Chain A
């Protein structure tokens, strides 16, 4: 599997690119030229210069430094959201797919209910109920989005639950946790990896959207969506300011999506050879 993955150029490039971005976030204090919070109000909207490679924003803060520090909330919060969503979806999807019967009925009807609401509106509603805070944004995203993954994982589990090796395992008396975690989970792991990668792209967009609307990450924390919102407020007078955060979001989300596609190709050889 690894060999196939390594042969896929797109996957490797994207993986490398995203790893570089993540590292830049981790080593933000070393990489950023200025303090992302230090303002210099008399030097706002400065153009590109050696001191401020991407200029300054409406408070005279260094945009490049804020972009680099912004990787932390943008990328790591979306990773957290993804873990939560996939985790919850996985547990419920596994149990629904494996146990069938009343368990499946209850879970799947709950999934139907969740899916009948437009997810974005539901996220807004939950954030409005719980209060404006990053934590609540993540909780809201996890609570709303798990249903999609639960359904997909259930379908995958159903593909494997009646396969011979599972039946044999049951015959020799393996316990249910053993079958669930040793047989079924590894079988669906590759597809979950694809789902997870695609989900991060969605989570980044969603957290940025909420921050853009003022519901997510609060000032002065640098976050790409929030930075885009700040830039929007001076759109007519200083249009350059929105380029950096806008492009960054597009590129990273696109990278995750391309990586997801490439992963699927690498992990499921039958489909590519067409």
Chain B
């Protein structure tokens, strides 16, 4: 017996020694690769002694996937790096990009763009009005896919009278026209040579754009390498090479950052509030937070047997403690949200009474609509238990925590909440198909809010359409949204927005939680970290090392 114990201990010791031996070896290997890297880096900077590092390692939770600029399957930050649109959306309004200037006819129906001269795609093709027309033709060919953009429904035709002029004609004046042309997709330009017989809806041959970077190499689910576009027409980026690693797990990302394998973590759901708070004090790493970009919310499916009752939905609103979520889960980094859109969003500064947190009120409302406490602390009505499922995206770093918190909070009121996590794609598919009782969602953020995200509620774009099907006044709301899009009178438009937003608020379809913000954690010698208008873009072009 004693002998056996001894043997066991010996075996343990030996295996431990072996393990540590392995570790040492990998340590050596790492050192060796580091040396190699240092060598290549030294070689790269030999001519200009003392130049700062110009290679950046970025990290994302998933692969770049299909970067076809006319479809929606790729990562948006990568599409922004490769492709450009006619106009840019900045904090001060629209800025010229591929179009040097533009004019709108007096009736608001004809847009004439003067195309920038001397711009080429990274395969050498010239990006003139004809190339842009080819792109538009390819986009229009797949019109059904883009109906969330109202301009697609109003489009009469596009033409390129000469190589420098591009004309778009609409059937009605449409006020968010330039915004829709400026968003990441689908109106980004790909080299006509990369299309498949002038079409892009079945995929493209190569990801060739006019943007500041070109895609050099990519290995699915491992990494992608972008290099600066030598022939870029604008200011050339300082960071010459960007490697994007795929690391799905939040903690692994943070460890990679600490070990120096990654220089930058950037995004809304890429890093949790704990880590942000931790690195605020650090001098090796810096933290940047954007202003509120969009509203983190839960969509309630109004076609559900339980949730079609408006009183139940309102009770759930009252049962949600936004302040505690903001303070407890986000350490106050994300402020509690009272309404679907923040008041800073255009046209959304209207007076709505927020659903204040009150468990008494919530349980009273549930009692009123006939849900009485049954066995096992779950309310019942006509033998049906008050059980709901909340679907969350398991790739997001905080949704699970919020879900668990709500589960226990609602549980106190006798609402049995089951929580279910799915990886991003199947979560989105289920949301779109309406396979949910309650689901986490975001509004789209600027520049899409409020016009595009409202327009998207009229079709099966995201979960909104499916969720609102149970509303009695759905048709009325849709009609008002359609009217907003083609309204020309500012006051009338504001009035319509007020109507739609008030209805949605009173119908209690959305539980606003917090106003999300973009978060970045990065090495302190990396400078120029900023945030753009679209929350999905990572502005690499402004970044540099000191």
User: Which residues of A are at the interface with B, using a C-beta cutoff of 8 A?
Assistant: 8-10, 37-39, 41-42, 44-45, 58-60, 214, 218-220, 232-238, 261, 265, 272
B278 near A237: Cβ-Cβ < 8 Å: yes
Chain B residue nearest to A10 (CB atoms) is B1
Complex interface: chain B residues within 8 A of A214 (CB): 394, 421
B274 near A234: Cβ-Cβ < 8 Å: yes
A42-B328, A265-B1 known; 9 new pairs, CB 8 Å cut-off, are A8-B1, A41-B324, A41-B325, A41-B327, A42-B324, A42-B327, A45-B274, A232-B251, A233-B250
B405 near A59: Cβ-Cβ < 8 Å: yes
Q: How many pairs of residues, A versus B, come closer than 8 Å at their CB atoms? A: 62
A37 to B404, CA, bound (A): 10
The smallest C-beta distance from B326 to any residue of chain A, in angstroms, reads: 10
B329 near A41: Cβ-Cβ < 8 Å: yes
Complex interface: chain B residues within 8 A of A236 (CB): 251, 254-255, 258, 275, 278
A234 to B408, CA, bound (A): 20
Is the CB of B411 closer than 8 A to any CB of chain A? yes
A60 near B328: Cβ-Cβ < 8 Å: yes
A39 to B403, CA, bound (A): 13
B401 near A58: Cβ-Cβ < 8 Å: yes
Known: A58-B401, A59-B404. A37 touches B411 (CB 8 A): yes
User: Which residues of B are at the interface with A, using a C-beta cutoff of 8 A?
Assistant: 1, 4, 250-251, 254-255, 258, 272, 274-275, 278, 324-325, 327-329, 394, 397, 400-401, 403-405, 407-408, 411, 418-419, 421
Listed from nearest, the 8 A-B pairs whose CB atoms lie closest are: A41-B328, A237-B274, A235-B251, A236-B254, A39-B408, A42-B328, A41-B324, A219-B404
The smallest C-beta distance from B436 to any residue of chain A, in angstroms, reads: 16
Chain B residue nearest to A58 (CB atoms) is B401
Complex interface: chain B residues within 8 A of A238 (CB): 274
A175 to B327, CA, bound (A): 73
A238 to B254, CA, bound (A): 13
The smallest C-beta distance from B177 to any residue of chain A, in angstroms, reads: 44
A236 to B259, CA, bound (A): 12
Q: Which residue in A38, A42, A219, A234 is a CB contact (below 8 Å) of B407?
A: A219
A234 to B275, CA, bound (A): 9
Complex interface: chain B residues within 8 A of A42 (CB): 324, 327-328
The smallest C-beta distance from B290 to any residue of chain A, in angstroms, reads: 22
Complex interface: chain B residues within 8 A of A218 (CB): 418-419
Complex interface: chain A residues within 8 A of B421 (CB): 214
The smallest C-beta distance from A35 to any residue of chain B, in angstroms, reads: 10
Complex interface: chain A residues within 8 A of B403 (CB): 219
Complex interface: chain A residues within 8 A of B255 (CB): 236
Point out which of B255, B328, B403, B411 has the most chain A C-beta atoms below 10 A from its C-beta: B328
The smallest C-beta distance from B377 to any residue of chain A, in angstroms, reads: 11
The smallest C-beta distance from A14 to any residue of chain B, in angstroms, reads: 13
Chain A residue nearest to B401 (CB atoms) is A58
The smallest C-beta distance from A202 to any residue of chain B, in angstroms, reads: 18
B275 near A237: Cβ-Cβ < 8 Å: yes
A10 to B8, CA, bound (A): 14
Complex interface: chain B residues within 8 A of A237 (CB): 272, 274-275, 278
A220 near B251: Cβ-Cβ < 8 Å: no
A272 near B1: Cβ-Cβ < 8 Å: yes
Complex interface: chain A residues within 8 A of B1 (CB): 8-10, 265, 272
B328 near A220: Cβ-Cβ < 8 Å: no
Complex interface: chain B residues within 8 A of A235 (CB): 251
A265 to B411, CA, bound (A): 50
The smallest C-beta distance from B534 to any residue of chain A, in angstroms, reads: 29
Complex interface: chain A residues within 8 A of B278 (CB): 236-237
Complex interface: chain B residues within 8 A of A272 (CB): 1
B254 near A220: Cβ-Cβ < 8 Å: no
A214 to B394, CA, bound (A): 10
Complex interface: chain B residues within 8 A of A232 (CB): 251
Complex interface: chain A residues within 8 A of B411 (CB): 37
The smallest C-beta distance from A239 to any residue of chain B, in angstroms, reads: 10
A25 to B408, CA, bound (A): 22
B328 near A44: Cβ-Cβ < 8 Å: yes
A59 near B275: Cβ-Cβ < 8 Å: no
The smallest C-beta distance from A31 to any residue of chain B, in angstroms, reads: 21
Complex interface: chain A residues within 8 A of B250 (CB): 233
B251 near A233: Cβ-Cβ < 8 Å: yes
Complex interface: chain B residues within 8 A of A265 (CB): 1
Chain B residue nearest to A261 (CB atoms) is B4
The smallest C-beta distance from A246 to any residue of chain B, in angstroms, reads: 15
A272 to B274, CA, bound (A): 54
Chain A residue nearest to B407 (CB atoms) is A220
11 A–B contact pairs at CB < 8 A? Answer: A9-B1, A10-B1, A37-B408, A37-B411, A45-B274, A59-B405, A218-B418, A220-B408, A236-B255, A236-B258, A236-B278
Complex interface: chain B residues within 8 A of A38 (CB): 408
Complex interface: chain A residues within 8 A of B405 (CB): 39, 41, 59
A80 to B411, CA, bound (A): 29
Chain B residue nearest to A235 (CB atoms) is B251
